[in-house]
Amino acid sequence: MRLFIAEKPSLGRAIAEVLPGPHKKGAGFLETGGGIVTWCFGHILEAAPPEEYDRKWAAWPGSSGDLPIVPKTWKLSPVPSAKAQLAVIRKLLGEASEIVHAGDPDREGQLLVDEVLEYLGNRKPVLRIWLSSLDEKAVRQALSGLRSNREFAAMKEAAQVRSRADWLVGMNLSRAYSIAARKNGNPVAVLSIGRVQTPTLKLVVDRDREIESFVSKDFFTVEATLEAPGGAFKTVWMPAENHPALDAAGRCIDRTVALGVANGTKAQKGILDIGKTEKSEPPPLVYALSTLTMDASKKYAMSAKEVLDTAQSLYEKKLTTYPRTDCEYLPQTQWGEAREILSALGRLPGLSSAASQADSARRSRAWNTEKVTAHHGIIPTREAGRAGGLSEKEVRIFDLVCRRYLAQFYPPFRYTETIVRTRLGGEPFQAKGTTPLDTGWKSVYGPEPDREDRKEPEPPLPALSSGDPVVARDCSVVARKTTPPSPYTDGTLVAAMKNVHRAMSNPEDKKILNETDGLGTEATRASILETLFSRGYLEKSKRAIRSTPRGRALIDAVEPIVASPVTTAVWERSLESIATGQGENSGEFLSKIVDTVSRLTKTALALRVVIPVEGKICSECGGVLRRLEGKFGPFLGCSGYPACRHLEKLPGAVSTNKRSPSRGKNTKGTRNGNSGKSGRVVRK
């Protein structure tokens, strides 16, 4: 009997639907004529907590003499809520003659099923199915191309060593900094340190402090309205780059100079010199998860987690392809499916017009097999035409993905850029204008809706020719002020994490970061942000993401190397080389991590860490009670969750249900869990 083990029930159902009948539903599995399909609920095993290695590590944060915590042999424990499903898999595994690993097509998906097989002591042959799309044709193609699971061993090794490295960092440094803070006046300090979350927090803290310390400066522009035979238009003074009145950014900061130019320009005559250049703009590449997050955040104020969850839902409904991708390109072979996908989109009311005008013979720059990584960009599937009954968020993400795909079958946006130059009283003035020639792919999107951040369009230039005489009818000085950088939003913070090299001043650091995928991966960035919010280090006001006093105190307390994006980037580069089998082995990498964590733990314990006490003290464990939003209303929950599950009613709160508030017990395993104080996976 062939046994398929899927990462989640929806993936299992997609496989079962393609297998031959008869079909029969069982408890935790589906029986088909082509084998039995069962599933996990994400990770159904989790890293064992410290106390399962040694009881001395059970107390939080424990004694400084008991650190660092370094297991000699790593252990896994079943997620409590998934024990029944693990038993189902164990029984079916005993009856099977062959296993098909059906985890998601990435490092974490590889580990997720492999660790179950290892935990249950499997010795039977294992094949691997690689699914980037769940539509029927894609599943059939994948079933016809099963490969040996041994080919993916390196991916599993990389995911496993990443998990262990994160456990070592979180367990040891979180305890060490908490102990140090408790020695320095905060008896209930519970600090959380993470390989990726702490450098990400530092990005926000640095931005907030840059905004707060920003001192606005005046600068001045000189604008002149010129009268030409074809009509009037505005120009701007363009001083030479080495003009003494300019600052480093090329702005005039001397009002006297600006007034002198304005006064000397009034009523002056000049001759126009006009340059015209025809330009084109190709359609944007198809979406990676990060670029999809940026657009959804900007257009709909969706959080990174909302975007990922919604894109995952569309994938599981077989409407779009695998979402956790860092690639914006498509393989040449995928172009052969274009007609079917365009036909499917043509059946959707909101997209039928754009789909009918798409040229299926056109091949944009997005089709480039050489630039495709493990997964191609996010696009609609051949089953997109049956989209219906979607939530508002699903409609928005689906529309973004579909229109970006449709744009690939339209010509470039073409326009003429006109630059008008003249000299008035010896000073150079300039105006710019653009004239659309062919809207091309932009017609897929239609007119942009009004947004607060949208700039006013420049007025069109009148009909002008080189040699036309002009006269300055009006000339004035416009006083402006420099503005601080904007607070991060979900979209801009994800972009900053991905392109963190741009924030580095050290050339070597910039080079290292530019060679990696930045902070985190496409699959983990959303959960990292959610962790920072849930632990009280970040907060959100409308779209703006800000650091809290607690978050700032943490960044001020930790060693620079702990909050440095370079550290995690170097680690991520090693993990990628392990996954591809082209670098150091996992044992060497983990040995380096142990040495680093041991050194950083010792340093942290010797620091004077000052963290202000905040909130009500938990009567059970001495932690801090924080306001949380539950299914039945707000309540106070312990910061020591899940080790401490104490909760209290919020004074004055009105419950929406007679039941007492719930700590939201995890009913399924989590895919990218975060370690709490006990070391178990906690909800985000």
- Which residues 6+ apart lie within 8 Å of 154 measured at CB? 578, 579, 580, 581
Report pLDDT for 684: 28
Q: Do 347 and 308 have their domain in common? A: yes
Give the chain's mean pLDDT. 88
Q: How confident is the model at residue 644 (pLDDT cuts 50, 70, 90)?
A: confident
In a domain, 60, yes or no: no
Confidence of residue 205 (pLDDT cuts 50, 70, 90): very high
477, 220 contact by CB (below 8 A): yes
How far is 288 from 196, CA to CA, in rounded Å?
20
**DSSP of 425-483:** TTEEEEEEEEEEEE-GGGGGT-SPPP-TTPPPPPPPP-S--TT-EEEEEEEEEEEEE--
Is residue 454 included in any domain, yes or no?
A: yes
Q: Looking at the structure, do residues 7 and 99 belong to the same domain, yes or no?
A: yes
Distance CA 684, CA 672 (A): 9
How many CA atoms does the CB half-sphere of 328 hold within 13 Å?
12
Residue 378, φ and ψ in degrees, nearest 5: -80, 120
Is residue 90 classed as helix, strand or coil in its secondary structure?
A: helix
Residue 33 vs residue 657, higher pLDDT: 33
Q: What angle do CA 122, 41, 381 make, to 5 degrees?
A: 105
Q: Are residues 543 and 571 in the same domain?
A: yes
State the Cα–Cα distance between residues 15 and 134, nearest whole angstrom: 8
Q: Give percent of the chain with pLDDT exceeding 90.
A: 68
pLDDT digits (tens, 9 = 90+) for 78-118: 999 999 999 999 999 999 999 999 998 888 899 999 999 99
Query: What residues contact 405, with CB distance under 8 A and at least 6 apart?
Result: 286, 341, 345, 379, 380
Evaluate whether residue 491 is within a structural domain: yes
Residues 293/295/298/304 CA torsion (nearest 10 deg): -10
Please tell me whether residues 295 and 402 are part of one structural domain. Answer: yes
Residue 216, burial from CB neighbour count under 10 angstroms (0-12, 13-18, 19+): exposed
| The pLDDT of residue 455 | 58
Q: Are residues 459 and 316 in the same domain?
A: no
Give the pair of three-digit tokens for residue 500: 């963190």
Residue with tokens 């003074």: 237
Which residues are known to be catalytic? 322
Kindly state the tokens that stand for 659. 């039941």
3-state DSSP assignment of residue 383: coil
Q: Which two tokens stand for residue 586?
A: 């996992």
- Residue 590 domain-assigned (yes or no): yes
Residue at 260 is within a domain: yes
| Residue range of the domain that includes 338 | 289-407
**Greater pLDDT, 582 or 151:** 151
Q: Would you state the pLDDT for residue 617?
A: 67
Tell me the mean pLDDT in the region 525-550: 91
Average pLDDT over residues 465-492: 96
- Strands (E) located in 591-643: 616-617, 624-630, 633-638
The percentage of the chain sitting over the pLDDT mark of 70, rounded to a whole number, equals 91
Q: pTM for the full model?
A: 0.81
- Tokens 């699903």 correspond to 394
Both 458 and 529 in a single domain?
Answer: no
CATH classification of the domain holding 342 = 1.10.290.10
Q: What is the DSSP string of 533-572?
A: HHTTSEEEETTEEEE-HHHHHHHHHS-HHHH-HHHHHHHH
Among 93, 110, 122, which residue's Cα sits nearest to residue 149?
110
87, 113, 145 - which closes a domain: 145
Look at residue 462 and tell me if it is in a domain: yes
Contact predicate 290/284, CB 8 Å: no
Question: Which residues are within 8 A (CB) of 175 and not within 5 positions of it... i.e. 6 or more apart?
Answer: 60, 61, 62, 67, 69
Domains contained in the chain, number: 5
CATH number at residue 6: 3.40.50.140
124 and 237 both lie in a single domain: no
Q: Which of 441, 457, 481 is the last residue of a domain?
A: 481
**More confident call, 614 vs 3:** 3
Note whether 321 and 391 are same-domain residues. Answer: yes
The domain that holds 263 is classified in CATH as 2.70.20.10
Does 277 or 550 have the greater pLDDT score? 277
Q: Is 34 exposed, middle or buried (0-12, 13-18, 19+ CB in 10 A)?
A: middle
HSE-up (13 A, CA, CB side) for residue 541 = 5
The per-residue pLDDT for range 153-194, each reduced to its tens digit, is 999 999 999 999 999 999 999 999 999 988 887 776 788 899
What confidence tens digit (pLDDT) does each residue in 552-562 have? 999 998 999 89
User: For every residue of 142-184, which 3-state class applies, written as one string?
Assistant: HHCCCEEHHHHHHHHHHHHHHHHHHHHHHHHHHHHHHHHHHHC
Residues 586 and 673 placed together within one structural domain of the fold: no
Query: Which DSSP string corresponds to 273-330?
Result: EEEEEEEEEPPPPPBPHHHHHHHHHHHH---HHHHHHHHHHHHHTTSB--S------B
Confidence check: pLDDT of 509 > 80: no
Residues 635, 647 contacting (CB under 8 angstroms): yes
Residue 677 class from Cβ within 10 Å (0-12 exposed, 13-18 middle, 19+ buried)?
buried
Question: Domain boundary at 577, 606, 635, which?
Answer: 606
Q: Cα 411 to chain center, whole Å?
A: 30
Indicate the range of 317-326, 371-380, 454-463, 516-525 predicted with least confidence.
Answer: 454-463
Q: Rounded distance, CA 515 to CA 565, Å?
A: 13
Q: Say which DSSP state 375 is in.
A: S
- Beta-carbon-side half-sphere exposure of residue 236 (alpha carbons within 13 Å): 12
pLDDT at 452 over 60: no
Query: Are 432 and 420 spatial neighbours (Cβ–Cβ below 8 Å)?
Result: yes
Question: Does residue 434 lie in a domain region?
Answer: yes
> With contact defined as beta carbons under 8 Å apart, do 167 and 49 qualify?
no
Phi, psi of 246 (to 5 degrees): -95, 145
Q: Which residue has the tokens 């850029």?
A: 417
Beta-bridge partner residues of 385: none
Cβ within 8 Å of residue 212, ≥6 positions away: none
State the Cα–Cα distance between residues 673 and 630, nearest whole angstrom.
20
Most confident option among 143-152, 601-610, 652-661: 143-152
Q: For residues 386 and 410, give the distance between their C-alpha atoms in angstroms, rounded to a whole number.
A: 24
pLDDT at 82: 92
Query: Does residue 151 surpass a pLDDT of 60?
Result: yes
Q: Where are the alpha helices (DSSP H) in 45-147?
A: 83-95, 107-119, 136-143
The alpha helices in 366-442, defined as continuous H runs, are 392-407
pLDDT score recorded for residue 370: 86
Contacts of residue 140, defined as CB under 8 A and 6 or more positions apart, other chains included, come to 18
Q: Let me know whether 580 and 539 are in one domain.
A: yes
62 lies in some domain = no
Do both 500 and 522 map to the same domain? yes
C-alpha–C-alpha distance, residues 77 and 46, integer Å? 5
665 pLDDT above the threshold of 60 = no
Tokens of 92: 């079916």
- Quick: pLDDT tens for 372-419: 877 899 999 999 998 889 999 999 999 999 999 999 999 999 999 999
Half-sphere exposure of 298 (CA within 13 A, CB side): 18
Task: Please state which of the ranges 110-124, 240-254, 577-591 shows the lowest mean pLDDT.
Answer: 577-591
Choice between 15 and 565, residue whose per-residue pLDDT is larger: 15
CA 465 to chain centre: 49
In a 3-state reduction of DSSP, which class is residue 495?
A: helix
Name residue, tokens 């307390």.
557
Token representation of residue 110: 């590889």
Q: Are residues 520 and 380 in the same domain?
A: no
Q: In this structure, how many other beta carbons lie within 10 angstroms of the beta carbon of residue 177?
A: 28
* Dist. CA 133–CA 488, nearest whole Å: 33
